[in-house]
């Protein structure tokens, strides 16, 4: 894991890793809820929108991606 962020409602944590994967975890149970892929470069930063709907990931090669947090699809 290279970075993490917590949803505004404090129910989930999203982690990013060197392989470009993103994982969503339930804070209470510690259970992995979802996994989706970024690009091939490592994830260096994450931020979640105030409403908890969108996730922005920043990558080692300088790119960013915007995701729908609920579906794991890019916007």
> What is the predicted pLDDT for the residue at 32?
98
2-32 pLDDT tens trace: 999 999 999 999 999 999 999 999 999 999 9
- 3-state SS, one letter per residue, for 10-71: CCEEEEECCCCEEEEEECCCCCEEEEEECCCCCEEEEEECCCCCEEEEEECCCCEEEEECCC
39-67 pLDDT tens trace: 678 999 999 999 999 999 999 988 899 99
Which residue is it, tokens 């992995």?
Answer: 32
Q: What is the dihedral of CA 61, 62, 68, 69, to 10 degrees?
A: 70
**Which residue ranges form the domains of the chain, and what is each CATH number?**
3-74 (2.40.10.480)
What confidence tier does 38 reach under pLDDT thresholds 50, 70, 90?
A: low
State pTM to two decimals.
0.91
């Amino acid at each position: 894991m290279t970075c993490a962020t917590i949803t505004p409602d404090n129910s989930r944590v999203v982690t990013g890793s060197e392989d470009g994967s993103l994982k969503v975890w339930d804070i209470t149970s510690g259970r992995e809820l979802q996994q989706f892929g970024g690009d091939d470069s490592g994830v260096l930063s994450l931020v979640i929108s105030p409403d908890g709907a969108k996730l922005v990931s920043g990558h080692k090669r300088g790119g960013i991606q915007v995701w729908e947090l609920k579906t794991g699809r890019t916007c």
